[in-house]
Structure 1
Amino acid sequence: MKRVLLRRQLLLWLGLPLALLWGLSVYTHYASALHAATQAYDRSLLASARIVAERLRVSKGQLEVDVPWVVLDSFERNMNDRLFYQVISPQGKTLSGYDDLPPIPDKAPLSKLYPALVHFYDATYNGLPIRVAALWQPVNEEGVEGMALILVAETLTSREAFAHQLLNTALLSQGGLVLITLLLASGMLRKILRPLRQLSRLMLQRDPADLTPLPMVLPWYEMQPLMLAVNRYIERLNAMIARQQRFSADASHQLRTPLTVLKTQVAVALKSERPENWRESLVAMRITVDDMILLTDRLLHLSRLRATLPHEVPQLIDLAVLAKESCFSLYAQARAKQIDLGYEGEERSQVKGDSKLLSELCANLIDNAIKYTPAGGTVTVSVREGVLRVEDSGPGIATADRQQAMQPFNRLDGAGTASAGAGLGLALVRDIAQWHGTSAELHESPTLHGLMVLVAFTSQDRFPAAVTHV
């Protein structure tokens, strides 16, 4: 996999725009400097042309000009440039200067920067690039009328030197600014990424069994959602591992006894040579296996329920229909004990919830009532205004033992004393009720004088944010 460095990418994304801006800034500085140099030197050329124009005079009907070199030398800025001039009469005759200077191009406009009829244009003279100022000077003296033309040209050495000097200054200053910016950005990124390296070291040194939340070592507000998401994931992982450990512990603890009983029953059958004893052992083993299947099924239901969190908007469920269906499904079990199992209450009662979980709740309550009701007893199921009631004529549960009865693997015998066993029915009922945002209450039945379990469902918009399982 290709190695990608975050700091290198950030510096690259920052450095490329800065380099482009640096180039653009240098170019604009150079163009501005060249324009400023052109204007400054053009003004000097125009001044030289005006000095020459002032030397025009009419003598004996002829236009003459006297241009001493000392006048032209006074306008030269340094020894790097050469100055040329030409004075042309209104008739097009060269009066003085170089008679082969480049003429005014056809497309050269009059300058609007100065109050004079002057053209500025670039040309080449004797293989040298030059800048020319062409000034039109009106003449109206002693019968001589027309526009004299004064051309003053200068080589570009000083202009280019001035522009390059400004360009070098811009290159150094802007380049230094970009370099300093990148160095500061690199140092800033190194400091910013330090908490990430700290977090990496923390994760590398962390014990694999340590599932405590990570400390908030990242100080930036933008990274807080990431840390919260990681910590929530650790919490879910911790809960999942705890459920697996709980299921393993429960299964190993609860299955040990029936497996021991089954082993004993097998040993007894093997020692006996009488077929009737074999049959008796096989019947006992079938009962033991059935109990183990029921126990395993309840363990799986309890583990699955603990692993389930409400995450969808519940649907409208007809609780009365579910209660009646549970009564029908357990009717044969009740009939085997000659128990009068019946339903009383509303024909329809809609609540918000999960149909599978509510069916499991009803079935567990009715199954628990049938188990602990003596033969010939009564179990009554009713639903009114969203409240589920399951009553029986069994021994009931003492008030002091009711909270303990809701815990997993605690079963109360007929005398009302606690004994170890696979009591998972009421534990499942408790967790399903909590999942739906309500609770299961244990009371004494006012009519049957046994146990009455109440589960009141409300018309809630959504499930609670979390469910606490014990």
Structure 2
Amino acid sequence: MLKYWRSTSLRVALLFAVLFTIGAGLLAGLLWWNTAGYLDRETDAVIAADTRAIGDRLRDFGLPGAIQMLQERVAADAGPNADRRAIYLLTDPRLRPLAGNVDAWPLKIGAAPGWYEIELVHRDKLHATRMLHVVLPGSFQLLVGRDVQDRVQIRNLVLRSLAWSGLAMLALALAGGWLIRRAVLHRVEGINRTASAIRQGDLAQRLEQRDSDDEFDQLVATINHMLDQIQQLVEGVRNVSNAIAHDLRTPLAETRARLESLLRQGGQGGEEIAAAIADIDRLIGVFNALLRLAELDSGLRRAGFQPLDPALLVEEAVELYTPIAEAKGIDLEVEAPAGLSITGDRQLLAQAIGNLLDNAIKYTPAGGRIMVRATADAINVADSGPGMSEAERSRATQRFYRGDAARSAAGFGLGLSLVEAIARLHGGALSLEDNAPGLRAVLRFL
């Protein structure tokens, strides 16, 4: 659930739904104010006007005048053309009825003056009634009201309509938000697919434009221009590196051949000649590794991928390095269940596993232990050597980088760079973790 909530498109969709719902609520409130609210305000105004008229009659003509007015109002409401909605009751200070069309003071009307909405029996049915209780001069108690049963029914009808329309609006808002999320996510997924292909070495990939000239198209155009420049720069650096490697490898090979010829002829300086040949071999190895990295970065080797058994690859590599480990007194263990399958280049994966084993044996002290484990999505090589600090692990895959423990050992600082390039070519990654003690190298396949 947390993964989905982190989605920007989902949050945009929910925001759209919330704003749509708020707008619908404001519209419903305005509709209520102009319909049911208007009817309630109209009823309250009529009741208040009747109350003031009766109070004025009491002050001007005394109690007889007020009673006469109530009787006239009751008689008028009982006529053939009346709506029979008016409620009148005038009582003395002890709440004994003096005039009106209600037999007794309703129990639900409190002693405090004010507005009340109660139910009274009318034609053997309970009807909602809106009442105003006022105290007149002389402590006379006056109730004036209206039967608002039809208003209540209208109000309930409006409320039900608003509730159903609100649910419909919410459903439409969620549907609209989902459509927005789908549209945005579709464009983002296209960008992710292209970026993933570029990350794996296919620099010719470009983002798709729809000629809509919207914000996404403008972003895509900018990114594509940036990718064009990056491809030109990368190709330039790659071509220069390849040219340097090729141009220097040839004279080095010729120099090595001449030195070997001198060494075979004998004479003085044999040890120096042998050392010079070893140095040249190291330089040739560096250039070969750089050329291999350039080949991996170009993605050309991906065409030779085929289904492979990682257990078989691990067993072959361990068999090759077991004599070296035994000579150093290192216990080399394997855990590779059968039935696993991955897709990749057999030679490159074998080289990657060999590089990891070579590093593990090189830095594991005598009497140490190395565990090689193959799973459905990764190959682990864990040793009990000195390991690396977190800062060193973050830089270990950089080309020509050598940590403190590696400075006194033979090597070029390109082994882990090759392994990372091979992992990237296979859509995976190389991660270096603390084995406590030692280092755990994990070659993951995605």
> TM-score normalised to the size of structure 1?
0.42
Q: Which has the higher helix share?
A: 2
